[in-house]
Amino acid sequence: MTKTKESWGSRIGLILAMAGNAVGLGNFLRFPVQAVQNGGGAFIIPYLVCFLLMGIPLLFIEWSSGRYGGRFGNHSTPYILDTMTKGRILKYIGVFGIFTNIAVAAYYAYIESWTMSYVLHSVKGTFVGMDQSDVANFFLSYTDVLHSTTGIPYEAVIFYIICLSINVYVLSKGLGGVEKVAKIGMPLLILFGVVLAVRGLTLGTSGASETFPDANAWDGLNFLWTPQYESIMDLKVWMAAAGQIFFTLSVGMGTVHCYAAYVKSKDDIALNSVSAGFMNEFIEVVIGSSIVIPIAAGYLGMEWVMENAGFGMAFQTMPYLFQQWGPLFAAIAGVMWFGLLFFSGITSSLAMGTPCVSFMQDEFGWNRKKGAWAFGLVTLIMGLPTVFFFREGVFDEYDYWAGTVSLVVFAMMETILFSWVFGLKKGWREINMGADIKIPGIYKYIIKFVTPVILIVVFLGTVFAPKGNDWSGNIRSLFSGNGWPLDNLSIINKITNSGLRQQIANATDPVEIQ
């Protein structure tokens, strides 16, 4: 075993790398869609409560576990848990912290690779003169690898490989490489984000055309920000809010463990973790909600947004809307939008790669370069099915199992482990060691009782998700003796129906491109 002495170059480098880890495609693509689909202003309260009661505690847990493991020369979740639970079999749950990273990186890097190609197409003017359905079809054609008509054969595969190679290259440079990318990428993405957000906020009704006379960018913001208290009782909204908090803060995956393992043992983690967490929230809640939704509402109207809110909006709609600003500004906006997505993506995929490289260093004594290549190759092998069978739903399967279920399961286990096996007494001391802020004492009780209970509830909710996500309907059904109908997305049904085969069987015909 090599005991590396590597650590972060500076405090600002650490915060930017950790914020880069958290700030990702989730902030710009996932958050707005989740917010719209869960009632806009109704979503935001459960979301903030989940941030405070689950997000912040998990950040404290993962940062302090990581720094603790790092003190013993360990840098990846399996080894970190090993130092915390000496001699117990529990450490094997740490394998989640490696495997999930590779599985998420596989499909995450694929989206990241689209953004690179879309920057290029924005510059080339591919979207100039296209109408909405042309732009939408371009995306369908792009992701339909075998029948793609984008101009470059196998374009999606080529960009995927280029994207992974860039990740491998940076990872082979070690923490310094990650830090450098974060120092360049984070300020740029904030700059691009602010410019686009200002454009979104000042669009007003200027986008209104004869076809969409009711369009108004402010409708989007009003929808997102007018609090609605009724749906606070809706468990569905809570589950969605919890899921978004996991994903956006990058917890439950071992990336935070790994980055924190390189924090020097006397350095603060209390203030650093909260700073990185709040930076992510600012970029998500303020910037992330001021781009896609208001711009789409400004041209197409809020009704259109409600009906079409989905992850495709970023690629299928935005390039078309940018065209309304003339070819030059459309190209600039395209570069900014897809560039910001790229920087947010790469700082996150590097965070998924680092624990894997560190694991190979700790386990096999490999050097960084060899570890980085191994990570790239394994990710490529795992990722090609999502590239080739995107249309058959393989991508969604990865996102379900790796990007949703594993995060919940692992977060639940590590919290119980931290609070009850490692012991909160020791844990609280770890969190506060070297702290530059005083954490309110109430967090001691939150971490010990509230967070584990919420996580167990979220876990059970994922196992027993009710049909159609209709919680109140199911509760009524249960009390009237009609049982608890399960949703296809409940873990139980997923396993018994073997969702993947199901989806391939139901797969739609190849997309037609006009």
Q: Are 165 and 178 in contact (CB under 8 A)?
A: no
Stretch that binds ligand PHE, among 82-90, 213-221, 243-251, 315-323 (CB under 6 A): 243-251
Helix (H) or strand (E) run with residue 436 in it:
none
Please identify which residue in 20, 24, 94, 371 interacts with ligand PHE, judged by CB under 6 A: 24
Give the residue among 52, 446, 74 at the shortest CA–CA distance from 260: 74
Under rule CB under 6 A, residue 318 binds ligand PHE: no
Q: Is 466 helix (H, G, I), strand (E, B) or coil?
A: strand
Cβ contacts of 33 within 8 Å, gap of 6 or more: 309, 310, 311, 313
Give whichever of 323 and 349 is closer to ligand PHE, judged by the CB atom. 349
Please identify which residue in 156, 166, 181, 352 interacts with ligand PHE, judged by CB under 6 A: 352
Give whichever of 186 and 394 is closer to Na ion, judged by the CB atom. 186
Beta-bridged to residue 486, according to DSSP, are 466
Stretch that binds ligand PHE, among 20-28, 135-143, 206-214, 413-421 (CB under 6 A): 20-28
CB of 51 to Na ion, least distance (A): 11
Under rule CB under 6 A, residue 241 binds ligand PHE: no
Under rule CB under 6 A, residue 292 binds ligand PHE: no
Please identify which residue in 248, 255, 354, 406 interacts with Na ion, judged by CB under 5 A: 248
CB of 169 to ligand PHE, least distance (A): 19
Look up residue 239 and give its two tokens.
């589950």
Beta-bridged to residue 76, according to DSSP, are none
Under rule CB under 5 A, residue 243 binds Na ion: no
- Partner from Na ion, ligand PHE, none binding residue 277, C-beta < 5-8 Å depending on class: none
Please identify which residue in 143, 248, 275, 490 interacts with ligand PHE, judged by CB under 6 A: 248
Tell me which DSSP letter residue 92 carries.
Answer: G
Under rule CB under 6 A, residue 279 binds ligand PHE: no
Give whichever of 122 and 406 is closer to ligand PHE, judged by the CB atom. 406
Q: Are 466 and 485 in contact (CB under 8 A)?
A: yes
Stretch that binds ligand PHE, among 166-174, 244-252, 362-370, 489-497 (CB under 6 A): 244-252
Under rule CB under 6 A, residue 250 binds ligand PHE: yes
φ, ψ dihedrals at 466, nearest 5°: -75, 155
How far apart CA 63 and CA 277 sit, in angstroms, is: 11
- If one counts every other C-beta atom within 10 angstroms of the C-beta of residue 220, the result is 29
Q: Cα 81–87–90 angle (5° rounding)?
A: 45
Under rule CB under 5 A, residue 298 binds Na ion: no
CB of 25 to ligand PHE, least distance (A): 4
Give whichever of 250 and 361 is closer to ligand PHE, judged by the CB atom. 250
Look up residue 313 and give its two tokens.
């909006």
Give whichever of 121 and 257 is closer to ligand PHE, judged by the CB atom. 257
Please identify which residue in 137, 148, 255, 490 interacts with ligand PHE, judged by CB under 6 A: 255
Under rule CB under 5 A, residue 26 binds Na ion: yes
Look up residue 132 and give its two tokens.
């909405």
Tell me which DSSP letter residue 439 carries.
Answer: P
CB of 154 to ligand PHE, least distance (A): 26
- Partner from Na ion, ligand PHE, none binding residue 21, C-beta < 5-8 Å depending on class: ligand PHE
# of chain residues touching Na ion (CB under 5 A): 6
Stretch that binds Na ion, among 25-33, 220-228, 325-333, 356-364 (CB under 5 A): 25-33
Stretch that binds ligand PHE, among 19-27, 192-200, 218-226, 300-308 (CB under 6 A): 19-27
CB of 436 to ligand PHE, least distance (A): 24
Site for Na ion in 253-292 (CB under 5 A): 280
Please identify which residue in 4, 18, 26, 220 interacts with ligand PHE, judged by CB under 6 A: 26
Residues 110-119 as b/e (b if ≥16 CB within 10 A, e otherwise) read bbbbbbbbbb
Please identify which residue in 14, 17, 19, 22 interacts with Na ion, judged by CB under 5 A: 22
Look up residue 497 and give its two tokens.
């129906």
Q: Is 301 left (phi over 0), alpha (psi -120 to 50) or beta?
A: left
Please identify which residue in 4, 348, 361, 404 interacts with ligand PHE, judged by CB under 6 A: 348
Site for Na ion in 405-464 (CB under 5 A): none
Q: What sections of 202-325 are H helices per DSSP?
A: 217-225, 235-249, 255-261, 270-281, 292-300, 302-308, 313-316, 318-322
Q: DSSP secondary structure string, 364-387?
A: H---HHHHHHHHHHHHHHHHHHHH
Q: Kindly list the distances between the CA atom of residue 256 and the CA atoms of 15, 126, 323, 353, 380, in Å, as whole numbers in the listed order.
A: 12, 39, 39, 12, 23
Q: Which residues sit at the interface with ligand PHE, rule CB under 6 A?
A: 21-22, 24-27, 104, 247-248, 250, 253, 255, 348, 351-352
